[in-house]
Every structure is written in C-alpha cells, then in structure tokens.
Chains A and B, each alone.
Chain A
Amino acid sequence: MQRFANPTKFMSLADAILPWMIALAASLFAVGLYLAFFVAPADYQQGETVRIMFIHVPSAWLAMMGYSLIALSSIGSLIWRHPLADVAAKAALPIGASFTLLALVTGALWGKPMWGAYWVWDARLTSVLILFLLYIGLIALWQAIEDPSRAGRVAAILAIVGFVNVPIIKFSVDWWNTLHQGASVIRLDGPSIHPSILIPLLVMTAAFTTLYFVLVLIAMKTEILRRRVSALQSARAGGAQASAVAAE
C-alpha cells in the first residue's frame, strides 16, 4: 500500500487504467440495461416495477460499500497518515451520498405502487436515511474546517464512529421484523432469485460498481490537483509577501 503513497505515481497509474475502466463500465451498462429492460421478465406480482430493482439494489450496495471504504480509508489516514487515504476518504463522500440518495429515491418510487406509501419508518429505511445523514454530516465537516490536514483527521474520526451504522443496516432486516424484504442475493443457501432476474441484477451491480470506482478515481485526481493548486497559490502569496517585506 505504501508504494502508492506517492500522489504523482497514483496520478499516472490512474491515468493508465481510467480509459479501460470507463470502457468496461460502458459495456457493462450496455449489456446490463439491455438485459434489465428487454430480457428480464416482468414479475407476476410486481409487474414492470420490478425493473426499479436493477437501479435500487446496486445503489444501495454502493451506499454501504462506499461508506465502508471511507471508514477503511479513514483508518489508513489516521494510523499510517497515508496521504492518498485522506484524499480517497474525501473524494468518495459526495459520490457515496449520491448513491445513497438514489437508493432512497428509487426505493420510494417502488414503495408507492407496492406498499402504498412512498416512505415507511421501517428499520432498513430508517438506518439508510441515517447513513445519508452521516454522509451529509461528513461533507459539512470537511467544508467547515479550512486546514485540510486537520479536516482529514477530524472527519476520519467521525467516519469511524459512524461505521457502527453499517452492520445495523445490513442486519436490520434480520433483527427486526421489517416491511423491507430480507437478503435474497448473498445467502448461505444460495440466491433466492430466479436466474432470469438474478443475472441482469448482477451485471447491473458490476456496472454500477465499475462506474463508482471510475467516479472515485476522477474525484481523487481532482482533489490532488486542487490541493496542488492551493499549495502553489499559498507559496506564491508567501513569496510575494516576502519580496514586499524585502522591498521595504
């Protein structure tokens, strides 16, 4: 891991793999969307609304995986002071928050015809809403603290504290008797979904995950460049000040 601690090396590595990842994401989306809209059958109970799941499930997965990655990066930046972990923890925030919002909105759109309400206060929905609030809180914390190294450490502590929520989301459907259905893809006795729906779902999940990493890499590159610019600017301002003092 320490080998990639050099931001310049990371930038060239990211530039090398990004085109391939973008191509992979695009082709996975082409296949996945085709399967989801033309091949997968409509559900005998849910009708066409079952297709919302092809957006909802990958978004919800990324909401939780995204937060777990932020918590992991936060540990990396707190313990090893890994400079890229800090950048990753910040860059992944708005992206993770967006997927969390997408999961909430698609869930609400599915819930209206199926459950009869856009929103119910069941344990799964509530805990995902809290996850969204944690994302918002972390973004606000980053924005409130000007010094990036202090902001990074403070946000990392909050991210690790907030990680308590992730297992609660995962197991909320088992611990409480919820309206939201239980796990149906990752189960000990194998998936309980018919392959005609499962395969498009897996392809869409792979597509979303690739898209997520493409977005995070681009956001990390932007963040590194932004820090370089602000470092250059402050160096220049310091230099100008020094020469002004010398002139006097």
Chain B
Amino acid sequence: MSAFLTLMRRDLRLALREGGTTGTALGFFLVVVAILPLGLGPDLKLLARLAPGLLWIALLLSALLSLDRLFHNDAEDGSLETLAMGPLPLEAVAAAKALAHWLTTCLPLVVAAPLMAVLLNLPIEAFGPLVLTMAVGSPALSFLGAIGASLTLGLRRGGPLLALLVLPLYVPVLIFGVTALTTAMRDGDMLSPPFLILLALSLAAGALAPIASAAALRANFT
C-alpha cells in the first residue's frame, strides 16, 4: 500500500512540477464549451436544454487529452520497466497512475464544470447534481482511458488511435452520466437508478481496467 501511495505521490508531484497537464485540460474544456454556442447559435433556452449533454461531452474530450502521456514518459526513460520488476504488481502500478490522472485531470475539470455551465445557461439548481454526477462518473474515464493508453503506448500515431479506441468505451459513462444529471434536474432525485449505474461503472472500471491495462503493458515489454 505504501508503494502504491508513493507512486501516486510521485506522479502527482511530477504533474505539478512539470505543469501544463491540468492547465491544458482546463483550457481545452473551456475552448470546447466556448465554441459550442458559436456553432449552435446563442439561443439561451436551447443551450440550457442541451447543456447537460454538451458539458458531459466536453468532459469526455478533455479527459482524453492527457491520456497519451499517462505511461509515455515512464516508458521512455525505462522507469516503467523498473516498476514492472519491483514488488508492486503491474496492476497496482496501472491503478495508481490512473488515479493520479483522475486527480490531476478529471478532478480539476469537475471543479471547473459549474463555471462552464454558466456559459451554457444551465440552471443554478443543477450545479450540485452536475458536480456530483461528474465526480462519480469521471473515475471510470481515467481507468478506461488507462487501458487505451497502455494499448497505444509507444505508437507513432498513438494519440488519434487512442481517441478511436477509448471513446466507444466511454459511451456507457456518457449515457448514464447525462441521464443521471437530467433525472436529478427533473425529479430532484439524486440517487436515481442511472446515478447508481454510473457509480457501478466507476467501481467496476476501477476494479477491472487495471488488469487489462497491466496485460497490455506486459505485451509491450517483450
């Protein structure tokens, strides 16, 4: 457990000192949300109706952005192979890195989401459910994304391929995230079935995705 935490702390410190990861994701989130009304027209009623889906799509795309760096640097300088030979199982390494990705990329996006929601005229009562559904659903994005990151590790056109592989896997999170949000907005019921399924998706991804991710990393070593 201490090795797990040490690794996570190392990844967090690297992300903080290198800078850019969180800022780029936040900037991308803002840009996506800002160009949507330009394409859809400035009709505030229409934007308010579309806002839950638009915000979730913007979250998906922004979370995707930094995924290709998840294992990249460690694979380049050989520390990933050192980690693989260490006492910590590779599954736990993948989980620690996915959690660090969630803390450095997804969590700031979730915190910033109400600001973006203002741009799309989402009613202010919906801000709580928005943050809550995104906080519960976004861990699945990091863990599923870790599978894609390890599958495309070291490929020349890894970035676009990563998006092609990971976005279909994100579809259930998107569907249940938006449904949970709109249900909470309509009925005021936070613990609706879609919300519970969203929670289940995150828990299942957290438990199972590191296994697939570690298997893909091992395929890269030999």
Contact = CB atoms under 8 A, between A and B. Distances in A.
B215 to A, nearest CB: 5
Contacts of A157: 147, 151, 212, 215-216, 219
Contacts of A154: 151, 216, 219-220
A160 B169 CA distance: 12
B161 to A, nearest CB: 5
Contacts of B171: 126, 130
A69 B36 CA distance: 41
B165 A141 contact: yes
Contacts, number: 54
Specify which of B164, B165, B220 lies most central, judged by the most chain A CB atoms within 10 Å of its CB.
B165
B165 to A, nearest CB: 5
A140 B216 contact: no
Given A133-B168, A154-B151, A158-B151, A141 B161 contact: yes
A76 to B, nearest CB: 15
A162 B165 CA distance: 10
Contact of B165 (A78, A137, A153): A137
A161 interface: yes
Nearest to B153: A154
Contacts of A158: 147, 151, 165, 216
Nearest to A152: B219
Contacts of A78: 215
Interface string B146-177: 01000110011110010011011101000000
Interface string B65-101: 0000000000000000000000000000000000000
Contacts of B155: 144-145
Q: Give the residue among B151, B152, B155, B222 with the most A Cβ atoms within 10 A.
A: B151
Interface residues of A, number: 20
Interface in B115-174: 147, 151-152, 155-158, 161, 164-165, 167-169, 171
Given A153-B219, A154-B151, A137 B164 contact: yes
Contacts of B164: 133, 136-137, 140
Contacts of A140: 161, 164-165
A137 B166 CA distance: 9
Interface string A124-148: 0010001001101100110011000
B152 A160 contact: no
14 contacts: A126-B171, A133-B164, A137-B161, A137-B164, A137-B165, A141-B151, A141-B152, A141-B161, A144-B156, A144-B157, A150-B220, A157-B219, A158-B165, A158-B216
Interface of A: 78, 126, 130, 133-134, 136-137, 140-141, 144-145, 150, 153-154, 157-158, 160-162, 165
Cβ-closest 3 pairs across A and B: A153-B219, A133-B168, A137-B165
Given A137-B165, A144-B161, 10 more contacts: A78-B215, A133-B168, A137-B168, A140-B161, A145-B155, A153-B215, A154-B219, A157-B147, A157-B219, A158-B165
